[in-house]
Structure 1
Amino acid sequence: MRKLSMDELNRKTVDEFKQSEKIPVIAVLENIRSAYNVGSVFRTADAFLLEAIYITGYTCTPPHKEIKKTALGAEDSVTWRHFANAAEAITDLQQQGYRVFAVEQAENSYALQNVDFKTDDKVAVIFGNEVTGVEQTTIEQCEGCIEIPQLGMKHSLNIATAAGVVLWELVRKRLLNNG
């Protein structure tokens, strides 16, 4: 076994990425305090060829030096839009036919491993503030909540980590179904 060289990774250029067919998943960031977390989600969205990122509230937007530091150029490849609040983003998503879910620990939430979307389902997942999570008023506009099972004592993940886990699971299942 040997590590692959950069040439062997078959990386897309920004133009190739933009022209590629995307996986119909949108990550929505609600009032994220850390630009580093925002940049990490951009990088994850690029890695999984997601449709877009919706940025809401006071979450910072590109160009921003801390986003750039963690996104490593993904802020240039991934489509993004800013909305004054999550309600506006949710309305836009629903008008486009997206099923919208909050990623939150809540009553009657769906365990991530049990979520089973059809391959052609358009799905948006909302990630909330590092301290307060997804706002209750936002949750009330969603079809439901997706919860990452956590077995330790903290029951709390950094938003960038939570986004990586949830987005990979949504993409992984689509890859399996496309077999």
Structure 2
Amino acid sequence: MSKTSETIHVSTKTSILILENIRSVENTASIFRTAEGFGVSKIILIGTTPTPIDRFSRKRQDFAKVSLGSEDSISWEYRAEIMSVIREFKNEGFQIISLEQAPGAYRLRDFQTTSQFALVVGNEVDGVSRGVLDNSDAIVEIPMQGQKESLNVSVATGVALFVLK
């Protein structure tokens, strides 16, 4: 097998990831690993979303096992409430994009982001909250062809970052 020389496209877009009430430690940790690989600038963990550290400020081993330590190389913060975060990023000029199956959503591959965007990903069951959807600049969805109606949240986040970045 031989390697070929290829030009690698490096995105100049600034991207923030906002995780709203993700339930699973494994999903959150997997998203960290994927986000780090795609050059996401920061991850905001909202509400019940698990953090890389426990309530005693110790590193969570279950998180680190899946994330492979990516929480150490990507900026992140925890916030209890999402709407103030949405307002802050809007005021800083970020385009707010929610990943959700919703009426009027853009097909992911047909959507173009601005130079700085914040991607909101919601809870595994309930998705992105109505308040966030109502305050998003755009809603994008991944078209599904199989019998299942959606992808796992960490997989969907990876697909979205690949297309949007």
Q: Taking structure 2 as the reference length, what is the TM-score of the superposition?
A: 0.86
Give the Å deviation of 1:141: 1.3
Tell me the C-alpha RMSD between the 2 structures: 1.7
Counterpart selection for 1:51 from 12, 33, 41? 41
Name the amino acid aligned to 2:112: D
Q: Which runs of 5+ in 1 are unaligned?
A: 4-20, 172-179
From 97, 100, 106, give the equivalent of 1:101: 97
Aligned twin of 1:162: 156
The Cα of 1:153 is off from its aligned counterpart by 1.5
AA aligned opposite 1:27: L
Write the deviation string for residues 35-94 of structure 1: whole angstroms up to 9, x where unpaired. Answer: 111111110111111111111111111222222111101000001121112212211211
1:111 maps to 107
* Structure with more relative contact order (C-alpha pairs < 8 Å, separation 6 or more): 2
Trace 1:14-93 onto structure 2 (pairs within 5 A).
23-63=13-53, 64-93=60-89
Equivalent residue of 1:117, what SS? coil
Residue-by-residue CA offset, 1:119-170 (whole Å, 9 max, x unaligned): xx21111111111111112211111211001111211111100000000111
Q: Deviation of residue 23 (structure 1)?
A: 4.1
Tell me the matched-pair count: 152
Unaligned runs of 5+ in 2: 4-10, 54-59
Structure with more of its chain in helix, by fraction:
1
Return the alpha-carbon distance in structure 2 between the equivalents of residues 127 and 66 of structure 1: 21
The one-letter code matched in structure 2 to 1:56 is I
Q: How does 1:129-140 map to 2 (within 5 A)?
A: 129-140=123-134
